[in-house]
Amino acid sequence: MSSTDVVVTGLGATTPLGGDVASTWDALLAGRSGVGPLTQEWAAQLPVRIGAHLAVDPSEVIERVKMRRLDRSEAIALIAAHQAWADAGLADSGLDPERLAVSLGSGIGGATTLLNQDDILEASGPRRVSPHTVPMLMPNGPAAWVGLELGARAGVHSMASACATGAEALSLGYDLIRAGRADVVLAGGTEAVIHPLPIAGFASMRAMSVRNDEPERASRPWDKARDGFVLGEGCATLVLERADHAAARGARVYARLAGAGITSDGYDIVQPHPQGLGGIRAMTMALRDAGLSGTDVVHVNAHATSTPVGDIAEIHGIRKAIGDHPVLTSTKSMTGHLLGAAGALESIATILAIRDSIVPPTINLDDPDDELDLDVAALKARPMEIPAALNNSFGFGGHNVALLFTRV
């Protein structure tokens, strides 16, 4: 590897499947679903009454006083960031803080804080509104808190590109290192918006599954009976590091982030281009960036959210950009859709698939769509050698990000 190569040296996550990376990965390989019924009183009035809550509530990890000053998306960002930092062995490494950056975004940010504090304002007046409201709701809050905790001084960056946010944060971290502006970047995405208003809004768009009686079977990418995504919450973070910097300190390396492609559709505010043209260009850019061809990529962790249009548009795109040979999976079948955190979590799944030579399954794929003409690891995990794999993330607004990871 050259001095400009970027490697992954740390992983952290808290998800609907587990409170850390290891438990989440075990659940993914076992094909367990993190989706369940929403038991809050407000859920009874909604057409969608299912979701993928965190397996471990952040209040079990962060002390109560601190939790009162954090939006849920900020709290889980701190949890995942500390995990990744410890996993990378950077706690006592003597890293120059002026060579450390943070790149961590959220698709929606502190919406639950905004809505809850508005309820307090209406019910009790302005004096009862929390003085922590603005730092809790501001979209750069998660990145800012992580930057403060780690002492990062090479920049704290926060992007919001809907469901492509986590992947775009990783791409920015990759660029920061290659441009020589940082040696280490803590990158990822966070989201925690299981709240009546976002759910009602998505439901009004008919974007969400209404399979309320079978929550564990509701997220079913590429299946003929799919009827929308399931909202999940969680955070995933990765430590990206310049390869020679990692080698100099003897760091364990999971994989190489070899290429990234970012495009926009210029087509519709919510619908992807039906032929997946923006995704095709992103995948092609990632391949070119890595100096690889489509034949080198044997596995794709697809964006595939379980929506009728999006799932098939991506299939067309993968066939065009990469070919008909890669084995696909959609881990959203188990985690639900983590919006701004999805790309980061699915990057972790892609990296671990490379490390362990196994593709996690797509569950609930009982009756494949007639237009699904590519190979999917359906229902159970598939062992196979994976020298190179791609992770796709697409978002409302026409955002497209493709990340290419390789074995080192």
What amino acid positions are annotated as catalytic residues? Answer: 163
Angstrom distances, CA of residue 401 to CA of 69, 170, 303, 349, 394: 33, 10, 10, 16, 6
Query: Tokens in use for 272?
Result: 């992807």
Quick one: DSSP state of residue 55? S
DSSP string computed for 273-303: PTT-HHHHHHHHHHHHHHT--GGG--EEE--
Long-range contacts of 115-121 (CB under 8 A, 24+ apart): 115/195, 115/197
Q: How far is CA 290 from CA 6, 215, 297, 311, 402, in A?
A: 11, 39, 11, 26, 12
C-beta separation of 264 from 396 below 8 A: no
Whole-angstrom Cα distance, residue 71 to residue 195? 13
Q: Up-side HSE of residue 379: CA atoms within 13 Å toward CB?
A: 5
Which residue, among 286, 327, 323, 297, has the nearest Cα to 406 in the 3D structure? 297
Taking residue 271's Cβ as centre, other Cβ atoms within 10 Å add up to 14
Give the angle subtended at the CA of 28 by the CAs of 299 and 355, to the nearest 5°: 50
Q: Of 287, 273, 272, nearest to 321 (Cα)?
A: 287
Contact 172, 188 (CB under 8 A): no
Residues 6+ apart with CB under 8 A from 286: 259, 260, 261, 390, 402, 403, 404
Count of alpha carbons within 13 angstroms of residue 231, beta-carbon side: 26
Sign, CA dihedral 319-299-242-15, equals: positive
Within 8 A by CB and 6+ apart from 22, the residues are none
